[in-house]
């Protein structure tokens, strides 16, 4: 088990208490776990690809998530499933722009996150469409301009660990120690961001992004270690292969397994569940909160 005493050295400067973020100029606290609903506008996402091919279907889904109690919606136009094909920045924007425009018009109070690793996309979404959060699966490692862009945009930034990129991340991923290696990576990125004035940071250990089945479950087992970074912790476990492969079922049948994994993550202190099934996640949170008292 990795502990604070075994990992951190005296005088480490990135452990700044921060379990809240500045969201639209207001302090947003994580005194209870939140739900981020996944909204993929891609033809090839692993679970819900091509489900929302029209703007009316998109709005219907957003409305459903709001009724179910979603706290944030994460809009993504670039599939990051293992082996996914590359698309251009222009294609990503062409998918995002009409979608975010109509969502903003119909649901102006909804907190919207944009799932992108491109600084140009992040800038366009925040500056021109009022996106509230940027969710970067690469933590700035794919686009070298992302950190400086985020400092300029001044919105909360989700940094995730990924080994490699979506095209090669599952080609024999290896770690000296998965939890310690990921923790060190996120700690370093958080430190670099703090140095340039970015403090509204959410961390994500990156389940399924360059990890084997055993890596994923080791991270889940030791999930509380990431609270050492003193930032809100997000997990994206929903219907992933770490559940369906273990249970030998399809992703469409993996809601029960997802809820079981979410329950464990909540007991480990996670702050945000990024999910396909909002209602199930909200109910899981309610039960675990009651158990924890």
Please give the pLDDT value at position 36.
Answer: 98
The alpha-helical segments, DSSP class H, found in 16-88 are: 55-67
Please give the pLDDT value at position 5.
Answer: 47
Q: In what order do the strands lie in the sheet with 272-275?
A: 201-204, 157-160, 133-136, 112-115, 72-76, 34-40, 272-275, 234-235
Q: What's the rounded Cα separation, in Å, for the pair 233 and 180?
A: 16
Please give the pLDDT value at position 220.
Answer: 98
Please answer whether residues 133 and 155 qualify as being in contact, where contact means their C-beta atoms are separated by less than 8 angstroms.
yes
Please answer whether residues 229 and 14 qualify as being in contact, where contact means their C-beta atoms are separated by less than 8 angstroms.
yes
Q: Report the run of H or E that residue 185 belongs to, with start and end.
A: helix 178-195
Please give the pLDDT value at position 43.
Answer: 72
Please give the pLDDT value at position 198.
Answer: 97
Of 222, 195, 115, 229, nearest in space to 162 by CA? 115
Q: What's the rounded Cα separation, in Å, for the pair 256 and 142?
A: 34
Please give the pLDDT value at position 8.
Answer: 43
**Which pTM does this prediction carry?**
0.89
Mean predicted lDDT score pLDDT of the chain: 89
> What are the domain boundaries of the chain?
4-292
Interval 278-293: pLDDT, tens: 999 999 999 999 999 8
* Positions in the chain short of pLDDT 50: 1-17, 45-47, 49-50
Residue 123 catalytic?
no
Please answer whether residues 95 and 129 qualify as being in contact, where contact means their C-beta atoms are separated by less than 8 angstroms.
no
Strand 272-275 to strand 72-76: parallel, antiparallel, or no bridges (unpaired)?
unpaired
The CATH superfamily holding the domain 4-292 is Dihydropteroate synthase-like (3.20.20.20)
Please give the pLDDT value at position 152.
Answer: 98
* Catalytic position from the list 34, 239, 240, 282: 240
Please give the pLDDT value at position 18.
Answer: 53
Interval 72-116: pLDDT, tens: 999 999 877 665 568 899 999 999 999 999 999 999 999 999 999
* Catalytic position from the list 184, 274, 282, 292: 274
Cβ count near 118 (within 10 Å): 23
Residue 218 catalytic?
no
Sequence-distant (6+) residues with CB within 8 A of 260 are none
């Amino acid at each position: 088990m990795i502990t604070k005493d075994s990992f951190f050295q005296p005088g480490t400067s990135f452990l700044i208490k921060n379990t809240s973020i500045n969201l639209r100029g207001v302090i947003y606290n994580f005194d209870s776990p939140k739900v981020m609903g996944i909204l993929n506008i891609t033809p090839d996402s692993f679970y819900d690809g091509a489900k929302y091919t029209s703007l009316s279907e998109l709005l219907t889904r957003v409305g459903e998530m709001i009724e179910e109690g979603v706290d944030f919606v994460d809009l993504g136009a670039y599939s990051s499933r293992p082996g996914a094909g590359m698309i251009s920045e222009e294609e990503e924007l062409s998918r995002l722009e009409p979608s975010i425009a109509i969502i903003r018009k119909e649901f102006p109070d909804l907190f919207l996150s944009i799932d992108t690793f491109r600084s140009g996309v992040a800038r366009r979404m925040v500056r021109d469409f009022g996106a509230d959060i940027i969710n970067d699966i690469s933590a700035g490692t794919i686009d070298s301009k992302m950190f400086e862009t985020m400092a300029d945009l001044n919105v909360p930034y989700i940094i995730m660990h990924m080994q490699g990129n979506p095209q090669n991340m599952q080609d024999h991923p290896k770690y000296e120690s998965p939890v310690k290696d990921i923790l060190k990576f996120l700690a370093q990125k958080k430190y670099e961001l703090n140095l340039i004035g970015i403090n509204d940071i959410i961390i994500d250990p990156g389940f399924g992004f360059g990890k084997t089945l055993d890596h994923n479950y080791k991270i889940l087992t030791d999930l509380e270690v990431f609270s050492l970074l003193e930032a809100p912790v997000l997990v994206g476990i929903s219907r992933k292969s770490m559940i369906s492969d273990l249970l030998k079922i399809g992703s469409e049948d993996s809601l029960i397994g997802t809820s079981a994994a979410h329950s464990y993550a909540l007991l480990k202190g996670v702050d945000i569940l990024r999910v396909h099934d909002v209602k199930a996640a909200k109910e899981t949170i309610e039960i675990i909160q009651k158990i924890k008292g």
